[in-house]
Structure 1
């Protein structure tokens, strides 16, 4: 345990710092708007890094490098798809969503936005969208809990069951206390830590093997296919990997960052910061997995843990190659990735239960203080369910993420995108798109037709359903058209 003591101290300092930020945010949280969206007060840097950190969960430092370590550089097509998707999400959705949510009764959640955007008096949109959020986010939260458990299990030799609770406890605490402001501020710190780890680690790995040229020779000697970007990939496989980019348009935890910006004018600068951060992180994480092949091929005696589970490659490299104090900082980056995403997912689930069920159906006259405390209790409820789902030690981080990512991308992506650019879209069109997208993902996942990633048919069928059903029905009311045009005019102002 002596070698782990510096790591333990580093982890404890880091976690204490995050909880301290949560306490400061608690003092700034005056009402439910503050708890859910931070009072729409985020500047460009916090908006950018918070969006990035909440996006790049444990799969960034565990799932993706593990996939590349196991299969080679061909797994990097996911990164290409994500970069393209993220850029268009910032470009087409971010600014518009900030304006349109405020124009539609200052909507705090996506179900709230859908309800007011389409004047849905039946509240069907609110119910169905909130149910979709709860189903897929609980799975997504479970992926974060698994990643945290893997980290504590590998670093401190804890049993998986103990690591499960240890990894989730700190995140639950600061989310419970500080809400959105705590999450956004901690995300900024965590994003900085993640990019530091992902730039430093591959450089040291390459130097340990003897340079880039030597590393490439070792990798090629082990298996030439590791360097083949098209290894075992046909057209469908490449499209499936690129299809991850479609998911961005429908991820509630990322879209919440856009909604919380202090102005749509903030978005342009935030896009540049976020995309730079994202590209550097993805290149770094791919390099960790790829050059990790060279290191463990050259040092097979140290490859035991990685051979059992390739998703441990970053953890093992950090522990082997760095002084324990530095390793503690680098491994805190995994905890940062897990905590940043898990925290905002817990909060989005909490907001869905509080704003879209409790306030909408049970307690319409609930006070702001009551709503904040109900929101906090909902954080605990969702966390317990996610921990229960994560209890199976054979869970894979990337597998859980891919399912939830597809669910949100198909159910919400087309609805969000089309609702922001097409005034003719109707309530029934939105309803059809949401249901078709979610059901397609659930069914396609079970049958795995054509080995095509379920987000692609889900997104396509949902978009078609939206357009067809909208055109078949009556035009939206004059008040809906008026609000849409006014919001678009505000968005166009420089």
Structure 2
């Protein structure tokens, strides 16, 4: 009897049961896309935690720790810092705007072309990021249950679950299932880490077995402050304007709930990266000559079958929680910012919900195809997220320094952000910083401040009044 497989199958059944219940709550397009703007503080907290703790935050951190040590755990701390910063400065502001998407905010204060370029950029980021979750989900199932899954069948199974639970219940499904997902992630990875470290004789014994030339148990030296600082820069930036993150804030009951939920969620994220890193180091001690990708699954499956099954389900749950939010975000961008805004402005609410659900299926299939054909997604993830710098700059100026904004500010700032990212990829000579995020911030801020030199038309507030003073 394959205990780990049975546990994973039970997990899938529970997920679809939660989605069936969520479907009853998701009434109308706002109920489907934003949980009727009724997410409580705990639901906001587990939703942002579930979005953050994906394949990169668990498997990815453990694999990196196999080579560099505990320093890999800072990836999740960077995510947590971004969520906390979002809670303190921006989550409540987004909720007060009563928007659904970031591009919608662009048009509300700026113009149509600002919305158009924003939706094109945002949906590209989400599609690439979602496809990474299929790859990670398939790899988890294939490496830990090789007699049952290949990489392709693991990806197909992951895709069916990701698309299915999102299609059925939308944001309610994502929020409620993340209660289970986050609990499973912490219980599974926490117990597996403690048992693994204990079985190997404790931290001291593991430290004696790993290569001494690598600072495995130093919090910084394995990567260095520059690399860690780049993680913080990227994660804090994307937390202020990535659609998946913003949509959770917009779904909160009120601005206070949004703020508190993000702060609590950020705090919840902090320890999981170092637990995953410890697993990676333990894998290095147990299987010193094996690739990092194979060592972790091999180590987990050597545990008690029940513990192994829960840990397997926990690692896969990390992908499920992230993929669902990302897929819903991309479908929302299509239905709200493309279909409703440009193709059928007068569509009824019931039809809009139907279009969004169809978009979930189509975009889910598209991202699955992308996952099958595109390589190197993991390597380019942080670079892709750097594109959110333009959106963050626009949001911060619009919210805190609106007198500096002009009608063309959003469009040109986003356009420059795209051009910088393209040049960074194809013109090595401009790589004067350790990461593209720093160049993005400099050029986007300079562009935003430079637009008033040729554009005198100020933006308007929500009441239609021209903004003159701070």
TM-score between both structures, scaled by the size of structure 1? 0.86
**Cα contact 2:75–2:273 (8 A) shared by 1:** no
Matched, 1:155 2:147: no
**Cα contact 1:434–1:462 (8 A) shared by 2:** yes
Residues 213-228 of structure 1 mapped to structure 2, 5 A cutoff: 213-221=204-212, 223-227=213-217
Evaluate the alpha carbon distance shift between residue 460 and residue 349 of structure 1 in structure 2; reply closer, same or farther with a 3 A threshold. Answer: same
Which whole-Å CA distance do the structure 1 matches of 2:226 and 2:432 have between them? 8
What is the Cα deviation at residue 232 of structure 1?
A: 7.4
Matched, 1:128 2:117: yes
Matched, 1:114 2:106: yes
What is the Cα deviation at residue 482 of structure 1?
A: 6.9
Q: Which residue of the partner structure matches residue 258 of structure 1? A: 249
Q: Which residue of the partner structure matches residue 64 of structure 1? A: 61
The superposition leaves residues 371-407 of structure 1 with CA deviations (integer Å, 9 ceiling, x where unpaired) of: 1111111111111111111114x94563253233223
Q: Which residue of the partner structure matches residue 438 of structure 2? A: 456
Q: Which residue of the partner structure matches residue 380 of structure 1? A: 361
What is the Cα deviation at residue 451 of structure 1?
A: 6.6
Specify which structure has the higher proportion of helix.
1
Give aligned pairs, total: 462
Q: Secondary structure at the match of 1:452?
A: coil
Evaluate the alpha carbon distance shift between residue 230 and residue 109 of structure 1 in structure 2; reply closer, same or farther with a 3 A threshold. Answer: closer
Which whole-Å CA distance do the structure 2 matches of 1:405 and 1:477 have between them? 27
Structure 1 stretches of 4+ with a deviation exceeding 6 A read: 481-485
**Cα contact 2:134–2:371 (8 A) shared by 1:** yes
Which whole-Å CA distance do the structure 1 matches of 2:95 and 2:103 have between them? 15
Which whole-Å CA distance do the structure 2 matches of 1:293 and 1:413 have between them? 39
Structure 1: any 5+ residue segments left out of the alignment? Answer: 489-494
The superposition leaves residues 159-198 of structure 1 with CA deviations (integer Å, 9 ceiling, x where unpaired) of: 2222221111111011111111111111222111112223
Deviates more, 1:242-251 or 1:153-162: 242-251
Which of 45, 48, 52 does residue 49 from structure 2 map onto? 52
**Cα contact 2:128–2:377 (8 A) shared by 1:** no
Which of 186, 189, 196 does residue 198 from structure 1 map onto? 189
Q: Which residue of the partner structure matches residue 491 of structure 1? A: none
Which whole-Å CA distance do the structure 2 matches of 1:470 and 1:189 have between them? 49
Q: Secondary structure at the match of 1:193?
A: helix
Which whole-Å CA distance do the structure 2 matches of 1:272 and 1:239 have between them? 20
What is the Cα deviation at residue 483 of structure 1?
A: 7.1
Which whole-Å CA distance do the structure 2 matches of 1:397 and 1:188 have between them? 28
Q: Which residue of the partner structure matches residue 330 of structure 1? A: 311
TM-score between both structures, scaled by the size of structure 2? 0.91
What is the Cα deviation at residue 292 of structure 1?
A: 2.7
Residues 88-487 of structure 1 mapped to structure 2, 5 A cutoff: 88-100=85-97, 102=98, 107-118=99-110, 120=111, 123-157=112-146, 158-221=149-212, 223-227=213-217, 231=221, 236-245=226-235, 246-297=237-288, 303=290, 307=291, 310-321=292-303, 323-392=304-373, 395=375, 398-407=378-387, 409-424=388-403, 425-447=405-427, 449-450=431-432, 452-470=434-452, 472-474=454-456, 476-477=458-459, 479-480=461-462
Deviates more, 1:81-90 or 1:332-341: 81-90
**Cα contact 1:51–1:274 (8 A) shared by 2:** yes
Deviates more, 1:271-280 or 1:342-351: 271-280
Q: Secondary structure at the match of 2:84?
A: helix
Which whole-Å CA distance do the structure 2 matches of 1:340 and 1:390 have between them? 18
**Cα contact 1:56–1:337 (8 A) shared by 2:** yes
**Cα contact 1:14–1:332 (8 A) shared by 2:** yes
Structure 2: any 5+ residue segments left out of the alignment? Answer: none
Evaluate the alpha carbon distance shift between residue 420 and residue 240 of structure 1 in structure 2; reply closer, same or farther with a 3 A threshold. Answer: same
Which whole-Å CA distance do the structure 1 matches of 2:300 and 2:308 have between them? 5
Which whole-Å CA distance do the structure 2 matches of 1:61 and 1:478 have between them? 44
Deviates more, 1:465-474 or 1:109-118: 465-474
Evaluate the alpha carbon distance shift between residue 442 and residue 73 of structure 1 in structure 2; reply closer, same or farther with a 3 A threshold. Answer: farther
**Cα contact 1:410–1:441 (8 A) shared by 2:** no
**Cα contact 2:433–2:439 (8 A) shared by 1:** no
**Cα contact 1:61–1:285 (8 A) shared by 2:** yes
Evaluate the alpha carbon distance shift between residue 25 and residue 77 of structure 1 in structure 2; reply closer, same or farther with a 3 A threshold. Answer: closer
Which whole-Å CA distance do the structure 2 matches of 1:39 and 1:317 have between them? 43
Evaluate the alpha carbon distance shift between residue 185 and residue 32 of structure 1 in structure 2; reply closer, same or farther with a 3 A threshold. Answer: same
**Cα contact 2:163–2:361 (8 A) shared by 1:** yes
What is the Cα deviation at residue 50 of structure 1?
A: 0.4
**Cα contact 1:64–1:398 (8 A) shared by 2:** no
Give the RMSD, CA atoms, in angstroms. Answer: 2.5
